[in-house]
């Protein structure tokens, strides 16, 4: 039956299912979008207050906050991409899922509470109160890094939506691609520009509940299929992968040469350190009104994300065990179709429709959070503090935030259409690397090191950004191999695809160097900052 269904799928021009499923998917997707859009309109900020637009409802319970964090964090890449990697490469894919959860440990244990206590609306406010001399140039640098990370990740989400569409209709024509990106992009802009943070929270919570439920139920179906025997699941996965025991051991994706292994380590480093420094996650950390609520929220978030990632592992193994590795690779060599094929085997077209509308909503949620984070950074740091030097009124600032949300959305759409062939993973991994090597050193130093100065911040922000981008430009991703952007040129002297292993230490080193080389700033500033960060002097 498996081969028959797979053969049928391949006959449908490499699409996952038939037309009825696509229609059901669209109906489900549109229903959720319409319902959430109305909720967003109802909960949208009524007055043009920046605290409401940037931080939303600050009295939410830890569970709702945790759901919103989980929604901001888990993208369609986790639902489709990671499960696909597990299905194709077994052990290495599971390792990748583990990194996604571990990334929250650094955020919870070191950064979340002092950051919330000392922060105000954006990350730029924290840096400005820590480095009052030269705060404008630091804000500018931070806004640029935020913009780079957000745009890369946003483009990854929009390109992902094209890839998802391709699962249904085969290779999409230019018009279909443009339609898909424009529709998704427009909805995202409406969420971010009209709804602000309250609107984004609505969609995040809805999405997180749907994601946890959807992934959980499908995983239960997989486990039930193997009568709750994990060993049987593992053995069928190993048998149907046509690789035998090698499937359950390391090295399928990142094995072989030392370069490959280092590349994987570099990627894990960027994920584990970078995810906690992604701007849209940072904004979520600033929102709760008390430290205690924040701690509870992050614990909920880690729990939910851990659950989803464990279940995603089960889904990936189940896809190989039930559908077979070859069939998954036939439909999509990157494995993005694994969950949908599994859904078809377990629950027919209905489950496929549910899962794919879930994937679209997930895309939408993450893209909305990213657009909002970038818009806040532009409006508050760039416009409010750098251009207007703090003289802008709240109404003005909110208007700028709405406009820049639209501008970023349009920019993301154009970039996505231009670069639709690139792998979403490459874009997302570059965003992680920039976050880990530019934003994270600055945050860690400003929270914990007295000697940190504005010059150190500038060096680590610009240096980390430049280092990660340049290393990727000179990596095999851009030139020298048959899969790169310019396969005919060869200027790839950096052997790894992920720059993290070099650029993260470089970011920390540059921050230290800049601080040591510049004049020390007055100690009172750090003393007051530290008291605020630890005591939480004002429960904002």
Q: Which positions ≥6 away from 32 have C-beta within 8 Å?
A: 206, 210, 357, 361
The piece of 126-134, 155-163, 400-408, 532-540 that touches other proteins (CB under 8 A) is 532-540
As a whole number of angstroms, the distance between CA 301 and CA 63 comes to 8
As a whole number of angstroms, the distance between CA 185 and CA 251 comes to 38
269 makes contact with other proteins (CB under 8 A): yes
Size of the site for other proteins (CB under 8 A): 52
Q: What minimum distance in Å lies between the beta carbon of 446 and other proteins?
A: 15
For residue 1, count other CB atoms closer than 10 A to its CB. Answer: 6
Radius of gyration, alpha carbons of the chain:
23
Q: Which positions ≥6 away from 242 have C-beta within 8 Å?
A: 324, 325, 326
**Contact pick of 25, 241, 268, 362 for other proteins (by CB under 8 A):** 268
Kind plus residue range of the DSSP H or E element containing 113: helix 112-118
As a whole number of angstroms, the distance between CA 107 and CA 281 comes to 10
By the 8 A CB rule, do 456 and 425 touch? no
Considering beta carbons, is residue 42 or 109 the nearer one to other proteins? 109
DSSP category for residue 82: I
272 makes contact with other proteins (CB under 8 A): yes
- Strand, helix or coil for residue 479: strand
Residue 333 burial (C-beta neighbours within 10 Å; 0-12, 13-18, 19+): exposed
Alpha helices per DSSP H over 170-257? 174-225, 230-240
306-335 binders of other proteins (CB under 8 A): 306, 310
Alpha carbon 96 to its chain's center: 14
The piece of 257-265, 431-439, 451-459, 468-476 that touches other proteins (CB under 8 A) is 257-265
Q: What minimum distance in Å lies between the beta carbon of 202 and other proteins?
A: 27
Q: What minimum distance in Å lies between the beta carbon of 394 and other proteins?
A: 24
Q: What minimum distance in Å lies between the beta carbon of 253 and other proteins?
A: 11
The piece of 215-223, 228-236, 383-391, 472-480 that touches other proteins (CB under 8 A) is 228-236
The piece of 42-50, 355-363, 507-515, 528-536 that touches other proteins (CB under 8 A) is 528-536
Q: What are phi and psi of 343, to 5 degrees?
A: -60, -40
409-448 binders of other proteins (CB under 8 A): 448
**Contact pick of 186, 291, 419, 423 for other proteins (by CB under 8 A):** 291
Q: What minimum distance in Å lies between the beta carbon of 429 and other proteins?
A: 15
179 makes contact with other proteins (CB under 8 A): no
444-503 binders of other proteins (CB under 8 A): 448
The piece of 69-77, 198-206, 263-271, 479-487 that touches other proteins (CB under 8 A) is 263-271
Considering beta carbons, is residue 110 or 387 the nearer one to other proteins? 110
Helical pair 500-517 and 258-274, crossing angle rounded to 10 deg: 60
By the 8 A CB rule, do 83 and 312 touch? yes
44-103 binders of other proteins (CB under 8 A): 91-92, 94-95, 98-99, 101-102
Considering beta carbons, is residue 255 or 347 the nearer one to other proteins? 255
Considering beta carbons, is residue 203 or 447 the nearer one to other proteins? 447
**Contact pick of 217, 387, 407, 534 for other proteins (by CB under 8 A):** 534
Considering beta carbons, is residue 96 or 383 the nearer one to other proteins? 96
As a whole number of angstroms, the distance between CA 344 and CA 355 comes to 10
Alpha carbon 386 to its chain's center: 28
As a whole number of angstroms, the distance between CA 518 and CA 451 comes to 10
Q: What minimum distance in Å lies between the beta carbon of 306 and other proteins?
A: 6
Per-residue three-class SS string for 314-377: HHHHHHHHHCCHHHHHHHCCCCCCHHHHHHHHHHHHHHHHHHHHHHHHHHHHHHHHHHHHHHHH
**Contact pick of 132, 134, 249, 495 for other proteins (by CB under 8 A):** 249
Considering beta carbons, is residue 39 or 450 the nearer one to other proteins? 450
The residues facing 479 across adjacent strands are: 486
**Contact pick of 58, 64, 225, 295 for other proteins (by CB under 8 A):** 295
Catalog residues that contact other proteins under the rule CB under 8 A.
Answer: 91-92, 94-95, 98-99, 101-102, 105-106, 108-110, 230-231, 234-235, 238, 245, 248-251, 254-255, 261-262, 264-265, 268-269, 272-273, 291-292, 295, 299, 302, 306, 310, 448, 524, 527-528, 530-532, 534-537, 539
């Amino acid at each position: 039956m498996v081969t028959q269904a797979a053969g049928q799928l391949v006959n449908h021009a490499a699409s996952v299912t038939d037309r009825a499923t696509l229609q059901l998917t669209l109906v489900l997707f549109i229903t959720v979008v319409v319902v959430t859009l109305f909720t967003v309109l109802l909960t949208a900020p009524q007055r043009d207050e920046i605290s409401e637009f940037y931080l939303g409802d600050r009295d939410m319970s830890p569970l709702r906050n945790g759901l919103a964090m989980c929604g901001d964090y888990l993208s369609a890449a986790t639902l489709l991409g990671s499960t696909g990697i597990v299905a194709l490469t077994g052990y290495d894919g599971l390792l990748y899922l583990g990194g996604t959860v571990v990334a929250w440990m650094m955020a919870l244990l070191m950064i979340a509470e002092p950051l919330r206590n000392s922060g105000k609306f954006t990350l730029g406010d924290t840096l400005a109160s820590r480095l009052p001399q030269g705060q404008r140039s630091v804000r500018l640098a931070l806004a640029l890094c935020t913009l780079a990370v957000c745009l890369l990740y946003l483009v990854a989400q929009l390109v992902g939506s094209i890839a998802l569409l391709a699962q249904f209709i085969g290779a999409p024509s230019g018009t279909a691609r443009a339609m898909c990106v424009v529709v998704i992009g427009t909805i995202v802009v409406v969420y971010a520009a009209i709804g602000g943070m309250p609107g984004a929270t609505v969609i995040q919570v809805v999405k997180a509940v749907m994601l946890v439920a959807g992934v959980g139920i499908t995983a239960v179906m997989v486990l039930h299929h193997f009568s709750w025997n994990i060993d049987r699941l593992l053995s069928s996965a190993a048998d149907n992968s046509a690789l035998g025991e090698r499937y359950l051991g390391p090295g399928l994706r990142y094995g072989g040469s030392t370069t490959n292994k280092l590349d994987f380590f570099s990627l894990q480093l960027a994920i584990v350190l970078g995810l906690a420094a992604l701007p849209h996650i940072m904004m979520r950390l600033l929102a709760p009104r008390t430290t205690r609520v924040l701690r509870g929220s992050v614990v909920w978030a880690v729990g939910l994300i851990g659950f989803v990632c464990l279940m995603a592992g089960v889904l990936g193994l189940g896809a190989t065990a039930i559908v077979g590795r070859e069939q998954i690779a036939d439909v999509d060599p990157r494995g993005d179709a694994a969950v949908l094929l599994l859904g078809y085997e377990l629950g027919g077209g209905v489950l496929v429709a549910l899962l794919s509308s879930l994937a679209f909503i997930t895309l939408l949620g993450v893209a909305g959070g990213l657009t909002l984070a970038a818009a806040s950074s532009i409006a508050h740091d760039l416009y409010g503090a750098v251009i207007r030097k703090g003289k802008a009124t709240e109404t003005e600032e909110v208007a700028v935030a709405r406009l820049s949300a639209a501008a970023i959305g349009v920019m993301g759409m154009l970039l996505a259409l231009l670069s639709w062939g690139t792998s979403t993973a490459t874009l997302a991994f570059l965003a992680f690397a920039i976050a880990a090597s530019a934003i994270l050193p600055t945050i860690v130093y400003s929270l914990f090191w007295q000697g940190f100065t504005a010059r150190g911040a500038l060096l680590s922000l610009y240096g980390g950004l430049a280092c990660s981008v340049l290393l990727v430009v000179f990596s095999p991703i851009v030139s020298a191999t048959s899969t790169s952007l310019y396969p005919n040129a060869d200027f790839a002297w950096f052997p790894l695809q992920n720059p993290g292993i070099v650029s993260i230490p470089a970011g920390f080193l540059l921050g230290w160097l800049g601080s040591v080389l510049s004049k020390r700033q007055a100690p009172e500033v750090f003393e007051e900052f530290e008291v605020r960060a630890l005591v939480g002097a004002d429960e904002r």
